[in-house]
A and B are shown apart, each in its own frame.
Chain A
Amino acid sequence: MSLLAETVTVLLNGLQQGAIYVLVAIGLSIILGTLKFVNFAHGALYLIGTYAGLLITLEITLTDGKLADWGYTTLGLGWGFLPALLIVPVLVFVVGLAMERFVARPFYDRPDTDQILLTFGLAIVVQEVFKILFGGQSYNFARPGWASGQVGLPIVGTFPEWRLYIIGITAAVVVLVYGLIEYTDFGLVVRAGTRDAEMVELLGIKLSRPYLMVFGVGAALAGVAGVVGGPLYAVNPNIGTEVLVPSFLVVVIGGVGSISGAVLGGILIGETLAIMVAIAPQWSQVGIYVLAAVVLLARPQGLLGAEEVTP
């Protein structure tokens, strides 16, 4: 393989790996930026999205866990991938609304540490519930039939088709969310609320409904990430935790509350991972933390984060 082809392949790999982090991190970032709520249970939403996607897309055989013990050895609708891509975000959106109302809202005025403890605990509970129901078994979330092959690309040669779709779907979703936040009245209220919640309330706008929506949208994005990322890896109850840490790094690097920051952070993390694998594989995990440390030293508010507005 020529050096050019190799470089482009590495960059494309990085873009794809970053895409999943972008989808998870946008939700994390807008919830943190707008609601000032540290949601360690965001990975659990990804987990719910993946399992929901798996069960809508395929029929799976359970050999482990309580569901199998109760006699539900075959589960799933077998409707295929596209219905999952439409249904799961709605489902996880509703889960997000419930989470905002019953978990997050009572904790908005509590210190960050309380929020972290609460949501971290919730994440573990969700993970354990999945483990009890579905067992520790890993499931094969097959890629959709129409995107399971490889496509020929200029310079690169062949590239897995599904991974290109991931980049495409992420781009479309990002544009959609960006439009929602930048160009709608809802977005205006949210952005104003991010800057100065007190002033917005003084203007007579009740923030609880936009907050509810922000949480729901953030959750839905994690759900989309779960469905889209599901076919990349074997599915098991630990995937939520695994995606959470890099996604927090993305938020830190990109800047809290910034959608473009999340995109930039996600791409940087993905590319760092891919490039490090190509030149020094053992250091690939260390690489992303070094990146985060360097960014934090140079720009504590993240690359595209706004300076903190002091009240």
Chain B
Amino acid sequence: MARREKADVSRRDVVKMAGATGLAGLGVAGSASAQENPPIGNFPIQGNPTFGFTVPQSGPYSSEGQDELRAYRLAVEHLNNGGGWVDNWSDLTGNGVLGNQVEFVSGDTATDADTARQTARRMIQRDGAIMLSGGSSSAVAIAIQELCQREKVNYMCCLTHSNDTTGKSCVRYSFREMFNAYMSAQALVPPVTDEYGGSNNFYQLYADYTWGQTVQSSMSQFFGEAGWNEMNSVATPLGTKDFSSYLSQVPRGETDVLFLNHYGLDGANSLSQAKEMGLDEDMEIIVPLYNRPMAQAAGGSIEGVFGTVAWDSQIDNEPSNQFTSAFQEKYERIPSGPAQLAYAQTLQYAAAVERAGTFYPPEVIRQLEDHEYDNIGMGQETMRACDHQAQRAVPVVKGLPEGEQQQGQFFEIVNLTSRDTLGYACDEGPAGECELGPYE
């Protein structure tokens, strides 16, 4: 122990001396960058860079977590050895990040904020992770991003759809590629009002935590503005299995549209139970955010049900197809939306590090802020500096009947809503409540 301390001191002395005397050109450059980028969080990295992936492997969002983890593994493999998007991104080399082979650790969040915080803390403190990424619960994402801000570790949100993530709970160290509930509502209004008319009575059930609450309020706001009349909205605890008691409260005679603001297993259960009770015969059902694992678990119940998804393999453009085929080659399965997010976010971070030429977190953040990109299959995007929310297109989908569902294909894409018709300025909507906090 004593010997290591001594060695540290002498190394520091050498650097100091080199800086003071400005002896060799190399020495000067080295000390200059050391002065610019003081140690912060887990920077400078010890050995190879370690990424920490926090995914739900149990709890109601565990199916989503499985697919995210596959995508994270694939991203690391491509970063280290080339392949997939890495070959087409000018910022990436296919030989690790800044010439270092990337390593990763993964941990279960159990779809629970406290567990997730512990998992993330372990990754930061024990494993020395330089970047964390993960999702599928906004409560989890917000808990981890708060921790990351404190610990000065970059966080790339995967699946989190609450307005608060880049709204009142936003932080400097976190970035979100996924759109939010506010944009889902904006994207849903035109096709849904086209189909069901301009004045309907609607009723909402929502998961009782940050995500469900903001979905509920965004749907109220935008469908209210479109002339619809909200009859009631009822909170249901996260992890509810049997929704029949909630569903039997929905007034069948008066309700035209029922919003089920549930996700993952909860969404699969509430939707199939609504159909089981025949509610779809009396009213239309909308699931504002859904995805493939959820559709799979709900089976034929999704027929004709509108919603938005993070991404879908049917989106036909070069990056989308490239990701689908790379994922399929590796896992013999079609990737889900959460998987695409996980993959994209890992590469986005790596590319920012390459552009910055350092893992120094504040510099990586500056590279991501207001970054313009067009390489992840959603068209032209901007990672906005004011709230770290990607300005991007939102796919609106409709569930296919069971007979037309194939492996990995459960929806038809109704509209890939362009980002020009969505979003909000930096001083309004959720962004108006965002205070990002310090870089250092």
Q: Decide: B297 and A234 in contact? CB cutoff 8 A.
A: yes
| Interface size grouping (class) on chain A | 35 or more
In the bound assembly, the distance between CA atoms of A106 and B426 in angstroms comes to 68
In the bound assembly, the distance between CA atoms of A157 and B276 in angstroms comes to 14
In the bound assembly, the distance between CA atoms of A157 and B251 in angstroms comes to 12
Chain B residues near A108: list those with CB within 8 A. none
**Nearest residue, chain A, Cβ from B266:** A234
Asked if A208 is an interface residue, CB under 8 A from chain B, the answer is no
Q: A136 with B63: in contact, given A61-B407, A63-B407 (CB under 8 Å)?
A: yes
Q: Decide: A138 and B278 in contact? CB cutoff 8 A.
A: no
Q: Decide: B293 and A160 in contact? CB cutoff 8 A.
A: no
Q: Decide: A233 and B299 in contact? CB cutoff 8 A.
A: no
Chain B residues near A28: list those with CB within 8 A. none
Asked if B38 is an interface residue, CB under 8 A from chain A, the answer is no
Chain B residues near A16: list those with CB within 8 A. 244
Q: How far, in Å, is B338 (CB) from chain A's closest CB?
A: 13
A210-247 to B contact mask, C-beta < 8 Å, 1/0: 00000000000000000000001110101000100000
Within 8 A of B (CB), among A139-178: 139-140, 142-143, 148-150, 157-160, 162-163
Q: How far, in Å, is B326 (CB) from chain A's closest CB?
A: 17
Q: Decide: B272 and A140 in contact? CB cutoff 8 A.
A: yes
In the bound assembly, the distance between CA atoms of A2 and B241 in angstroms comes to 27
Q: Which of B57, B235, B246, B298 contacts A140 (CB 8 A)?
A: B298
In the bound assembly, the distance between CA atoms of A162 and B248 in angstroms comes to 15
**Nearest residue, chain B, Cβ from A127:** B58
Q: Which of B236, B251, B265 contacts A1 (CB 8 A)?
A: B251
Chain A residues near B407: list those with CB within 8 A. 61, 63
Asked if A274 is an interface residue, CB under 8 A from chain B, the answer is yes
Q: Decide: B245 and A273 in contact? CB cutoff 8 A.
A: yes
Q: How far, in Å, is A56 (CB) from chain B's closest CB?
A: 18
Chain A residues near B296: list those with CB within 8 A. 63, 137-138, 140
Q: Decide: B245 and A64 in contact? CB cutoff 8 A.
A: no
Q: How far, in Å, is A276 (CB) from chain B's closest CB?
A: 9
Q: How far, in Å, is A70 (CB) from chain B's closest CB?
A: 12
Asked if B130 is an interface residue, CB under 8 A from chain A, the answer is no
Q: Decide: B66 and A64 in contact? CB cutoff 8 A.
A: yes
Q: A135 with B208: in contact, given A63-B407, A140-B297, A281-B234 (CB under 8 Å)?
A: no
Q: A138 with B237: in contact, given A232-B242, A233-B242, A234-B298 (CB under 8 Å)?
A: no
Q: Decide: B298 and A10 in contact? CB cutoff 8 A.
A: no
Q: Decide: B237 and A282 in contact? CB cutoff 8 A.
A: yes
Within 8 A of A (CB), among B248-280: 248-249, 251-253, 265, 268-269, 272-273, 276-278
In the bound assembly, the distance between CA atoms of A3 and B391 in angstroms comes to 48
A1-38 to B contact mask, C-beta < 8 Å, 1/0: 10000100110011011000000000000000000000
Q: How far, in Å, is A266 (CB) from chain B's closest CB?
A: 14
Chain A residues near B242: list those with CB within 8 A. 17, 232-233, 273
Asked if B218 is an interface residue, CB under 8 A from chain A, the answer is no
In the bound assembly, the distance between CA atoms of A148 and B63 in angstroms comes to 26
A184-218 to B contact mask, C-beta < 8 Å, 1/0: 00000000000000000000000000000000000
Asked if A118 is an interface residue, CB under 8 A from chain B, the answer is no
**Nearest residue, chain B, Cβ from A17:** B242
In the bound assembly, the distance between CA atoms of A139 and B253 in angstroms comes to 32
Asked if B333 is an interface residue, CB under 8 A from chain A, the answer is yes
In the bound assembly, the distance between CA atoms of A304 and B119 in angstroms comes to 45
Total A-B pairs, Cβ < 8 A:
106
Within 8 A of B (CB), among A244-265: none
Q: Decide: A13 and B66 in contact? CB cutoff 8 A.
A: no
Q: Decide: A158 and B297 in contact? CB cutoff 8 A.
A: no
In the bound assembly, the distance between CA atoms of A159 and B297 in angstroms comes to 23
Q: How far, in Å, is A229 (CB) from chain B's closest CB?
A: 10
**Nearest residue, chain A, Cβ from B268:** A234
Q: A233 with B241: in contact, given A138-B293, A138-B297 (CB under 8 Å)?
A: yes
Q: How far, in Å, is A60 (CB) from chain B's closest CB?
A: 10
In the bound assembly, the distance between CA atoms of A302 and B190 in angstroms comes to 57
Q: Decide: B276 and A234 in contact? CB cutoff 8 A.
A: no
Chain B residues near A149: list those with CB within 8 A. 278
In the bound assembly, the distance between CA atoms of A305 and B120 in angstroms comes to 47
Q: Decide: A136 and B248 in contact? CB cutoff 8 A.
A: no
Chain A residues near B234: list those with CB within 8 A. 281
Q: Decide: B297 and A139 in contact? CB cutoff 8 A.
A: yes
In the bound assembly, the distance between CA atoms of A274 and B248 in angstroms comes to 10
In the bound assembly, the distance between CA atoms of A282 and B237 in angstroms comes to 6
In the bound assembly, the distance between CA atoms of A278 and B301 in angstroms comes to 25
In the bound assembly, the distance between CA atoms of A233 and B197 in angstroms comes to 33
Chain B residues near A277: list those with CB within 8 A. 245-246, 249
Q: A160 with B251: in contact, given A136-B62, A142-B299 (CB under 8 Å)?
A: no
User: Which one of A1, A9, A138, A158 has the greatest number of beta carbons of chain B within 10 Å?
Assistant: A138
Asked if B65 is an interface residue, CB under 8 A from chain A, the answer is yes
Chain A residues near B297: list those with CB within 8 A. 137-140, 234, 236
**Nearest residue, chain A, Cβ from B57:** A136
Chain B residues near A1: list those with CB within 8 A. 251-253
In the bound assembly, the distance between CA atoms of A27 and B17 in angstroms comes to 77
Q: A137 with B265: in contact, given A162-B276, A233-B242, A277-B245 (CB under 8 Å)?
A: no
Q: Decide: B65 and A136 in contact? CB cutoff 8 A.
A: yes
Chain B residues near A242: list those with CB within 8 A. 241
User: Which one of A135, A149, A232 has the greatest number of beta carbons of chain B within 10 Å?
Assistant: A232
Q: Which of B235, B268, B272, B276 contacts A281 (CB 8 A)?
A: B235
Chain B residues near A13: list those with CB within 8 A. 244-245, 248
**Nearest residue, chain B, Cβ from A138:** B297
**Nearest residue, chain B, Cβ from A143:** B276
Q: Decide: B278 and A160 in contact? CB cutoff 8 A.
A: yes
In the bound assembly, the distance between CA atoms of A238 and B266 in angstroms comes to 13
8 contacts between A and B (CB under 8 A): A6-B249, A13-B244, A150-B277, A157-B252, A232-B242, A238-B59, A278-B249, A285-B237
- Of all A-B residue pairs in the complex, the 10 with the closest CB atoms, nearest first, are A140-B299, A138-B297, A277-B245, A234-B297, A150-B278, A136-B66, A234-B268, A274-B245, A136-B62, A160-B276
Beyond A242-B241, A281-B208, list 4 extra A-B contacts (CB 8 Å): A13-B245, A142-B300, A273-B245, A284-B237
* Interface set of A (CB-CB < 8 Å, partner B): 1, 6, 9-10, 13-14, 16-17, 61, 63-64, 135-140, 142-143, 148-150, 157-160, 162-163, 232-234, 236, 238, 242, 273-274, 277-278, 281-282, 284-285
